[in-house]
């Protein structure tokens, strides 16, 4: 499974003809293309489970109790970080930490290599352990991880919050 995921990513990097780095305006399109390819592979029986991947812009806002909550950003200027989300959908999800760790270790260097890192000051790979119920569907999904590409304004905007956490 790990090899199929990494080979698919590498294949799509070459199909995008990325010479040095993926242009910022193509990041979301690149991950949408990957997501469609994983859906095709699942539909044709090439992979046993649905794999979903997406890239979205996020920011943090203060919530009613004085804490911070993550929200979708309206555009690049409004964003504090780019989140690349990967998950496996299967009827009986398992916390296969070994597989998840292998996927993180294999994919993170690939993503860092193609991302326009001049726009980011740090990258975090967060292994998400939760299973989530998709409302209205008879499916669970298990998160593999979130890769967060942090912009400088993330740290500038939340210095006081970061000191307290």
End-to-end CA distance of the chain: 36
Mean pLDDT score of the chain:
78
Task: Identify which has the larger pLDDT, 78 or 144.
Answer: 78
Using the CB atoms, write b or e for 12-25: b if 16+ within 10 Å.
bbeeeeeeeebeee
Check pLDDT > 80 for residue 131.
no
Residue 129 pLDDT: 53
pTM of the model: 0.77
Highest mean pLDDT among 33-47, 65-79, 117-131, 150-164: 33-47
Confidence of residue 154 (pLDDT cuts 50, 70, 90): confident
Task: Identify which has the larger pLDDT, 140 or 77.
Answer: 77
Span 47-71, mean pLDDT? 85
């Amino acid at each position: 499974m790990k090899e199929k995921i990494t080979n698919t990513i590498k294949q799509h990097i070459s199909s995008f003809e990325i010479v040095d780095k993926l242009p910022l305006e193509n990041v979301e399109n690149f991950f949408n293309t990957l997501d469609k390819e994983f859906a095709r592979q699942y539909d044709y029986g090439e992979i046993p489970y649905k794999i979903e991947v997406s890239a979205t812009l996020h920011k943090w806002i203060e919530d009613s109790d004085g804490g911070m909550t993550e929200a979708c950003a309206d555009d690049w200027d409004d964003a504090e970080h780019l989140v690349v989300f990967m998950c496996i959908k299967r009827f009986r999800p398992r916390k296969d930490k070994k597989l998840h760790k292998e996927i993180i270790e294999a994919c993170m260097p690939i993503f860092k290599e193609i991302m326009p890192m001049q726009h980011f000051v740090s990258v975090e790979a967060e292994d998400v352990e939760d299973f989530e119920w998709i409302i209205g569907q008879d499916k669970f999904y298990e998160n593999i991880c979130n890769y967060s590409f942090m912009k400088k304004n993330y740290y500038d905007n939340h210095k006081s919050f970061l000191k307290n956490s």
